[in-house]
Structure 1
């Protein structure tokens, strides 16, 4: 069963062909980073326009890379939300029209379920059940995953998402958007122990997060040391990154221990962070946990993960209707 996946929730236009929910035949992503970088963040109206320009070429490329034509597509899966409504509508409307033209079933997919499925598309999928940390620019949550469509939310951020905090600290340091990669590179040149920023564990026995206080602490430090910012920036980045990683690793391992899971996974854009990957692999091994992280190209937004989710829904006959609409927040 070959599913065409479409993803346009934020600032990447993506299309992919996935067979039987687990074998990627092609995956194409058109990024808008260069466009939004000058504004320090995603401009929703610009994102929607660029999706309109890219959706047909990206889908055509995905078919060409897979060596298939549209007649080979058995179903279509498309991101329904959460995300930017204008951006979502481009992919959602395109998928609706294409499904009708091809007379194939289609399914609107939750973007977060897509990220959780990304770990199944790598070479080392986890055993069920497992505890999963989803950390991205818009979300930081922990789930217990007990099946392809069975996710139990255990905890989530009460304010900023981890990726959002990276972006905001990057902007404070004058490094621009997106912040995750640039903070990670800069932190590699700094000393994470030189500047101690607070760790917001909230209740250490619960699985919720908060990063607004850490963001404020970094801002205050920068304000008081602005004259020496160039010399201190690497240490600030390293100290900030370590504070985020400490909390993420602690909470994910706590989730595994409290739910009896021997496998853990981290997904989403923040899963590409080298320090987080290093710490999870090391501390997971100490705790006797099997750690699973998607390949880098599956950490960010992509359509292969959307196609993988859609496969499971369509296989069970759970289709979307032409009257369905997108949603900006979850739950709809």
Structure 2
């Protein structure tokens, strides 16, 4: 168990975390007959803040160095890992000379957007736990009272909603849909996983995408095994139901369902396994243009115009 107690500003942190002061509070919550041992006691303060820019020339900020949130929902650790997922492939492309230095600025664009989303979510949890106004307190107390007997109210209890990846829905690296495609897996969305099979080997879709860009085509047809764009060789992988002849077998049809897919549609997947673009049919020229946009080449053209 992890149990949090709110202290006033005038509390003595060293005094409050002594076992003789902590144990009676826990007993008051759990009951005097419940046996427990203290594993760890500490005092912390809520913090919700972000650096103004996650890149300063050759210095890049990530994790707690770039943003801090209240410790609800495992947001600190998860967003730190997501920062590196976002940064590392961009940094490698720049180091290898396959993207302009300005491409690194998209790291701040996307991850600052995600950090602000996490700050909003964490602040909502903090405000529920420690109401800042009379109205907030009335709402919180009403929710807790109703939650004891009413199932609907339990979904309103906000003691720290678990962290989920933030879709980069407004990223400049996305290629917007050219035709209506459904609301799932829009460009900028983290890729959904699904069980697949390659030959006789069962596995998972995300494990089959590889480490770089991938074009994922739903269906089997006369598609090339790879495409050349932006100085990169991009593998093309097909996925379809059993017996379709596709490279990957959509074992339960979940991939097609989760990607709102239809026969012949194509997805461009980024190295960090976010959707960069999607099309109702496989078009090498459109895919190449989306790849160029997603590695910052369009940024260079805009700068030279």
With normalisation by structure 2, the TM-score equals 0.27
Higher relative contact order, chain-length normalized (CA < 8 Å, sep 6+) = 1
Structure with more of its chain in strand, by fraction: 1
In the superposition, the TM-score normalised over structure 1's length comes to 0.25
Structure with bigger helix share is: 1
